[in-house]
Amino acid sequence: VAAVMSAVLPERSPSAPPAGRPHCDSYCVGYFEKSTGTSSGGNISLCTAVCFLHLGGLRTALYNYIFAKRYGGAFILRLEDTDQSRLVPGAAESIEDMLEWAGVPPDESPRRGGPAGPYLQSQRLDLYSQTAQQLVETGHAYYCFCSPQRLELLKKEALRSGQTPRYDNRCRHLRADQVQGKLAQGVAHVIRFRLEAGVEPFEDLVFGWNRHEVAEVEGDPVVIKADGFPTYHLANIVDDHHMKISHVLRGSEWLISTSKHLLMYRALGWTPPTFGHLPLLTNKDGSKLSKRQGDIFIQSFQRDGILPEALLDITTNCGSGFTTNRIGRTIDELISEFNPSKITTHSALLELEKLPEFNRIHLEKRIEKEEHCKLLIQHLREKIQQVYTAELQHEEVLQEDYIKRVLHLRKGHISSLKELVGPGYAFLWVRPSFSSQQVAVLTTEAQLIASLVLKLIEAYGEELTVDRLSKDLKIMAKQTKATKYSDVMKLLRLTLSGLQQGPSVAEMMVSLGPAEAINRFQKLLLLSETS
């Protein structure tokens, strides 16, 4: 299953895309395998296979979504499942799941339905068959009876002579009686589109004027396969026409194929859409994103605690098409700042090592918004229960107020919620253990220090604040006789967390709250007395 995004737009002012019933047709959410390599994007109608949504596909979908919403349109998802031998179980559902998770949900899709359906190409086969027959009847397509063995020999011979493999168009020269005879005998066949010279130039929204004489370098392409299913060329053209697509945004690797599609539009007497080819999203070294990079699938980012806003932000930040280029933009800001005329032809270099910083900024924004923070609390509570189960110090650590306090104290310091259930923050949920030997290495005044801290906390009551605690702890540390300030802080940190690094001692105490802080320093006091 592969996917195509479309946007249905109403008529607009002259500053908007051309009027009519504009759509924005999009991209490959999976991958296609050919001698040219592996795709990271492009129009799904131009793909022969599909996997699950990955970052290149999401980025192209995002541009289409933004384009649709920028001009008041609807976002449409259609799925290609015409290559029955390469269907991936669960891919169709996953595509919609991941688009919804990412915050770019389609308005119409197989799941949601809509007036442009059906949205599965396997349910549109009659439409493709009728169109192919129309092409045959008008002389723009023909039956081809060449066997797979003959085609393979042509390919091997071309490669042997250093040429690009191409079909030699042998069957376009068959007489009508020969064709009818083979059809009557039930000879296996495909339908090929007849490429002709004289391609008209077209103006691409991104790359400007283009023209490719495909008939000089390609053989006639198959449009209906032997199993009766269409290829991506025909299905893409037919669907775009009948769904009234007026704008196509897809990856720049499909730029050279556009002239071929324009020939098909002309043969059918249909008005082609306006095309815009997006520069590729590439790795930092300029190489294409590949399905072999397992960590670029959207499920991987979701599993690792990356926020969808951060993914959308980084994939647009490294590209073009916006009036500003800053970290922290929301989807609404991306829509309002989008300007198709600012999309450049340069490849967008993706620097995934910067993703934690993007995630940190967007996580901070979520924590600051009450409704989003509640969802974070719920999600973090589930993670705490999964990781620590029976080890939890007490049920209070699962309460909303406690988790909310932790989040607000740590906002700006953490890049994902996963960090808060890691070893460095285990002290927040589980009481740490430490030994008298560890204490003895730091000071001989542990009993005094524990008593001083307990008095300090009791004097505060329930009103612990980081700034005030920081100042008072420094003052308190001066009351020791033989322990340096740094060792006092190390002792307090050991008591509170069992660690030698992490948030400030004052923040730890505020996070834990007075009651739990008292509990831990009483443990230090008891340990010191028995020692």
Instruction: Judge residue 370's burial from the number of C-beta atoms within 10 Å of its C-beta, 0-12 exposed, 13-18 middle, 19 or more buried.
Output: exposed
**Distance between CA atoms of 231 and 252, rounded to whole angstroms?**
20
Catalytic residue among 155, 156, 284, 291: 291
- Residue of 149, 59, 64, 138 lying closest to 335 (CA atoms): 64
Helical residues (DSSP H) of 461-530, grouped into ranges: 466-477, 485-497, 505-512, 514-530
**Distance between CA atoms of 278 and 224, rounded to whole angstroms?**
28
Write phi, then psi, for 282 (nearest 5 degrees): -125, 165
Task: Give the list of residues 6+ apart from residue 467 with CB closer than 8 angstroms, or none.
Answer: 506
**Backbone Cα Rg of the chain:** 32
Quick one: DSSP state of residue 241? Answer: H
Asked whether 414 and 427 are in contact (CB, 8 A), the reply is: no
Task: Determine the residue type at 224.
Answer: I
Query: 75 in helix, strand or coil?
Result: strand
**Distance between CA atoms of 399 and 420, rounded to whole angstroms?**
15
> What is the chain's length?
531
Asked whether 50 and 91 are in contact (CB, 8 A), the reply is: yes
**Distance between CA atoms of 176 and 512, rounded to whole angstroms?**
86
**Token pair belonging to 425:** 């923050």
Residue 243, H or E segment: none
Residue 291 annotated as catalytic:
yes
**Distance between CA atoms of 420 and 428, rounded to whole angstroms?**
8
Q: How far is CA 165 from CA 34, 61, 112, 242, 261, in A?
A: 12, 32, 42, 33, 20
**Distance between CA atoms of 498 and 512, rounded to whole angstroms?**
14
Positions of E strands within 197-289: 202-204, 208-210, 222-224, 247-251, 274-278, 281-283
**Distance between CA atoms of 163 and 28, rounded to whole angstroms?**
28
- Catalytic residue numbers, as ranges: 291
